[in-house]
Structure 1
Amino acid sequence: MAVEPDRPARSRAGSVRIVEADGHHAVLVFSGVLDAHALPELEERLLDPRLRQAGDRVLDMSGLERIELACAYGLLRAVTVAPEAAVITVRGARRGVVRTLRQAGLDAVATFES
């Protein structure tokens, strides 16, 4: 039996899914751990054309265990290109996630709900 080399564990790799998007409303669901490795995929997902039209965006972070600051800044960049009338709501984020998002400045453009 061949022995495979050790690989870093990524059992809780983060993901972002668009579960709803129309011209007025979008819901994104975050899960796992969003670290620097996830940043390119996160930015690509946040640039999805379906999100550009949505004036109301809900970021459901109840399944997000941790987000690194680089990803929080990526999220901030994405939501600040939204239309000025856009309403951004962060829902269900854990205390550590909220802390990182506030550190990145997301609280200046988003409302946080438990």
Structure 2
Amino acid sequence: MATLPPQSQPERAVVAFTEADEQHAVLTFSGVLDAHALPELEELLSDRRLRQAGTWEWGMSGLQRIDLACAYALLRAVTRAPETVSVTVHGARRAVQRTLRHAGLDTVVSMEM
């Protein structure tokens, strides 16, 4: 009897501050951001360190995939931020870029690949 290899589980999402002060906040994303990660993502996006910073950088080179619900959470965070906040996305893979564009994030953030 042949056995099938176990299905590989997607890498758990990790989103963390790698830098934060009054001027600048850097969030690093990795793994898979899906509905399971949404509550943690929304909590992080309401963090005081992010709200106080005038410049946000999102490092997404380690992000394998993001679903639309999480992309919309990012969009809500940006559109609720003061107009003076600038947001830059760095290193997103094509599939991630596509989802961010579907959510409309490319209209309110700078995307540098």
User: Does structure 2 retain, via aligned residues, the 8 Å contact 1:15–1:42?
Assistant: no
C-alpha RMSD over aligned residues: 1.3
- Alignment match, 1:19: 18
Looking at structure 2, the residues matched to 50 and 10 of structure 1 have their Cα atoms a distance apart, in angstroms, of 32
- Taking every aligned residue pair, what percent have the same amino acid on both sides? 64
User: Does structure 2 retain, via aligned residues, the 8 Å contact 1:56–1:87?
Assistant: yes
- Alignment match, 2:4: none
Instruction: Provide structure 1 residue ranges, at least 5 long, that are not aligned to the other structure.
Output: 1-7
- Alignment match, 1:98: 97
Which amino acid in the other structure matches residue 13 of structure 2? G
Looking at structure 2, the residues matched to 10 and 40 of structure 1 have their Cα atoms a distance apart, in angstroms, of 20
**How far apart are residue 108 of structure 1 and its match?**
1.2
TM-score (norm 2): 0.90
- Alignment match, 1:42: 41
Looking at structure 1, the residues matched to 22 and 28 of structure 2 have their Cα atoms a distance apart, in angstroms, of 18
User: Does structure 2 retain, via aligned residues, the 8 Å contact 1:56–1:88?
Assistant: yes
What secondary structure sits across from 1:13 in the alignment? coil
Q: Deviations over 1:48-83 (max 9, x none)?
A: 111101111000000000000000001111121111
- Alignment match, 1:83: 82
Looking at structure 2, the residues matched to 61 and 108 of structure 1 have their Cα atoms a distance apart, in angstroms, of 18
Looking at structure 2, the residues matched to 81 and 20 of structure 1 have their Cα atoms a distance apart, in angstroms, of 21
Q: Deviations over 1:71-102 (max 9, x none)?
A: 00011111211110111000000000000001
Which amino acid in the other structure matches residue 110 of structure 2? T
Instruction: Provide structure 2 residue ranges, at least 5 long, that are not aligned to the other structure.
Output: 1-6
Which amino acid in the other structure matches residue 78 of structure 2? V
How many residue pairs are counted as aligned between the two chains? 107
Looking at structure 2, the residues matched to 54 and 72 of structure 1 have their Cα atoms a distance apart, in angstroms, of 21
